[in-house]
Structure 1
Amino acid sequence: MKITIGLGRGEITDWDEVSTYVIEAEKLGVDCLWTAEAWAHDVVTPLAYLAAKTEKIKLGTSIMQLGTRTPALVAMTAMALDSMSNGRFRLGLGSSGPQVIEGWHGIPFARPIARTREVIEIVKRIFNGETLTYQGKFYELPLLTNATGEGKALRPGASPPKNVPIYIASLGPKNLHMTGEIADGWLGTSFIPEHADLFIDPIREGAQSVGRSIDDLDLQAGGTIWFTEDVDEAITTLKSGLAFSIGAMGSRQHNFYNDAYRRQGFADEARDVQRLWLAGEHDEARSRVPDEMVSGSNLIGDKQMIRERLRMYRDAGITSFRANPHGNNLNERLEALGKFMDIVIEISTEKS
């Protein structure tokens, strides 16, 4: 099992600390760093900054929001990052949701799965160095409809990359199925290993439908790593972020995190948390998050407890675990990450 880390979707104010964190994580053997975008920083610029400060750690977008860039710009950005990092870039894509796509970017959130498929098909053609033509529901290249008619089918001006793996962040069954069909990896969230089949079975079915094996994909999920003797305190603290995800990260009609937890046996609880959050009763919403939802989505406790939980992810089929080490400062986070990497080494020789 590989270990990855990520930068959050919020504002970054201390870039020196971020670079130190990533450089030290690289020394510890972390496989990949993933950046995020919501409505603070973009997902790409931090990777360009960190590519210049690192040598081995892979660098990925988790996620680059679909619809906010043309497919050609997605491919051009990926090729530039892959070139400047000497082949370390991973392209993670996702549809986000209507609150961000329509509210922040002013772009219709329509048929996200179909749009994802078209973007990836176009990006792959560019990666292959093809002269670009495409006819789809969303994209027409060259553009002839409501256009000057002067567009030209072009070949990419940069050399094709040797290998840029494409990951999809997906949660719903149809999106998971498509991930198995066309992606090189899965970026999973809201994942409890006891219910792994709800996520992994559709990916496997999608892969098999096109003659692939699920072993062809890197399956990634993870959570907070919190070494503590006071599990109850940690759970209470982590409820706040989980309540925000299932209560605020989406509308009443579209909250993919909420839907994922409903499918994993928390239908009533997820519905209550969302209702309370949208009504402005945030403290009550946090209190309604079940302890089992928090403990199932994260690795909390002493070394033995965290070791056992990590084994469950491994045995469920997760091939990359994204670790968010808990700590009150950089040194504490790095210490937690180092302890976790020791556990990973211990179980890496075990048979699942």
Structure 2
Amino acid sequence: MTMVDRDIHLPVAAQPTIDSIVDYTRAAETAGYDCVWLPETWGRDAVTVLSAMAERTESIDIGSSILNTYSRSPALLGQTAATLQELAAGRFRLGLGPSGPAVIENWHGMTYGNPLKRTRETVEIVRQVLSGEPVDYDGDEFELSGFRLRCAPPETTPPIEVTGMGPKAVELAGRFADGWHGIMLTPEGIDTRLEDIERGADLGDRDPDDVHVTAGVTCCVLDDPQEARALARQHVAFYIGGMGTFYRDSLERQGYDEAADIYDAWQAGERERALELVDEDILDDLCAVGDPETAREQLARYEAIDGLDAIAVSFPRGADEEGIRRTMDAVAPDA
């Protein structure tokens, strides 16, 4: 069995300061994690925080997971990647994705359009920017001419990794990106998505092993295992019911017909009903929660997947600082 990296997907909800987020990053570096991924939601912008993380760490990779492909232009994303790669001394990884219409249209006031095509063209343009050569691009979503970095391009080009839930989105990653990130997937669900990666790599005349595959897994280790499960249950219900239809559809593709009922209950304001529908099997299949031994055993199921390169440890939305740090320690690479 090949060695699987152990990453951290940083929590951002209700973090009091930038320093607190950087402290998690430094703790992950000390604990032997390979990379820390920072999401961008509706709080602090990711680029500023990633800059602080880069300056205050020495060896751990840092990455965006994700910057959406609508609120920043592809040229600006390329500039940002070049700048963060310089600041991090070659440790930056650019995570991109289209997000969803609720975010893009409601928060940013932009038309969602064709997310797959936009993601593909963004990846291609960012690569041109990072090459340091003039950017001339004629696509369906973007037309650019005359842009060129006025600083030296990165000596080591940062990898461009994309998100995506459906078969076509994952196929696109296999065809064009350096990596793919998936979340809310069982080990069996990851296996199926790896088939999409292979199909995309074949279409792009690439080796699928060149696509770095990362699975995000919700983890929670507490003194009270039942409290850990309760936090994970709330997290799963929120994602299925309250984050658009992406996670509902993904769970249905993986054989969980009850995902539609969870979604409907949440949308109807029946939150307790939605929580009840997230049964023990769903929790055990999707998460690594409870006592330390149980969580490590559940993560081991993902480590056994042939073709998976990294597990990104993430945390339930309701986890506090003590729970996050306890979980990080319990499932650290050297634990």
Q: Normalized against structure 1, the TM-score is what?
A: 0.87
2-structure distance, mates of 1:46, 1:258: 31
| Residue pairs, 1:79-118, within 5 angstroms | 79-118=82-121
Preserved CA contact (<8 Å) 1:246 1:258: yes
Question: What TM-score do the two structures reach when normalised by structure 2?
Answer: 0.92
Decide which structure has the larger Cα Rg and report it.
1
1:282 is matched with 271
Q: Conserved in 2, the CA contact under 8 Å of 1:325 and 1:334?
A: no
Structure 1 partner of 2:19: 16
Residue 213 of structure 1, CA deviation: 1.9
Shift of 1:310: 2.3
Structure 2: gaps spanning 5 or more residues: none
2:71 maps to 68
Alignment of 1:238-253 (within 5 A): 238-250=232-244
What is the Cα deviation at residue 323 of structure 1?
1.3
Q: Could you say what secondary structure the match of 2:161 adopts?
A: strand
| 1:55 equivalent among 37, 55, 58 | 58
User: Contact between 1:3 and 1:31, CA under 8 Å: does it hold in 2?
Assistant: yes
Looking at structure 2, the residues matched to 181 and 11 of structure 1 have their Cα atoms a distance apart, in angstroms, of 37
After superposition, the Cα gap between the structure-2 partners of 1:195 and 1:329, relative to the gap in structure 1 and judged at 3 Å, is closer
Please identify, of 4-13 and 216-225, the stretch whose mean Cα deviation from structure 2 is larger. Answer: 4-13
* Structure 1: distance between partners of 2:90 and 2:33: 17
Structure 1 unaligned segments of length 5 or more: list them: 143-152, 347-352
Q: What letter corresponds to residue 29 of structure 2 in structure 1? A: E
Match of 2:249 among 253, 259, 266: 259
Q: Please state if 1:338 is matched with 2:329.
A: yes
What is the Cα deviation at residue 2 of structure 1?
1.1
Give, in angstroms, the shift of residue 99 of structure 1: 0.6
1:176 aligns with 2:170: yes
1:299 has 2:292 as partner: no
Are residues 310 and 129 of structure 1, via their aligned partners in 2, closer, same or farther at CA, if it must alter by over 3 Å? Answer: same
The alpha-carbon deviation at position 158 of structure 1 amounts to 1.8
Task: Say how many residue pairs are matched.
Answer: 329
CA 1:41–1:24 in 2, change beyond 3 Å: closer, same or farther?
same
How far residue 345 of structure 1 moved from its aligned partner, in angstroms, is 4.3
1:145 aligned partner: none
Distance 1:249 1:307 in 2: 28
Task: Map Cα deviations across residues 60-97 of structure 1 (whole Å, 9 max, x no partner).
Answer: 11000111111000000111111111111100001110
Q: Tell me how far apart the structure 2 counterparts of residues 121 and 24 of structure 1 sit (CA, whole Å).
A: 35
Give, in angstroms, the shift of residue 9 of structure 1. 4.7
- Report deviation, 1:300: 2.3
1:309 CA drift (Å): 2.2
Distance of aligned partners of 1:237 and 1:331 in 2 relative to their CA distance in 1, 3 Å threshold: closer
Q: Please name the residue that 1:200 is paired with.
A: 194
Q: CA RMSD in A?
A: 2.0
Map of 2:179 onto structure 1: 185
Measure, in 2, the Cα distance between the counterparts of 1:228 and 1:211. 46
The verdict on how the C-alpha distance between 1:329 and 1:172 changes in structure 2, with shifts beyond 3 A counting, is closer
Name the structure 2 match of 1:160. Answer: 153
The secondary structure found in structure 2 opposite 1:92 is strand
Q: 1:328 to 1:39 in 2, by over 3 A?
A: closer
Structure 2 counterpart of 1:244, one-letter code: F
- 1:21–1:330 Cα contact (<8 Å) kept: no
* Contact 1:235 1:295 (8 Å CA) reproduced: no
In structure 2, what is the Cα distance between the partners aligned to 1:207 and 1:115?
19
Cα-to-partner distance string for 1:281-319 (whole Å, 9 max, x where unaligned): 122112212222222111124444333322221222321
The offset of 1:325, in angstroms, is: 5.9
Separation in 2 of the partners of 1:58 and 1:124? 20
- 1:146 corresponds in structure 2 to none
Which residue does the alignment assign to 1:40?
43
Residues 1:264 and 1:232: Cα distance change in structure 2 (over 3 Å): farther
**Mapped partners of 1:82, 1:310: distance in 2:** 30
Instruction: Supply the distance in 2 between the matched residues of 1:41 and 1:262 (Cα, whole angstroms).
Output: 33
Paired residue type of 1:201: E
On the 8 A contact 2:6/2:312 being kept in 1, the answer is yes
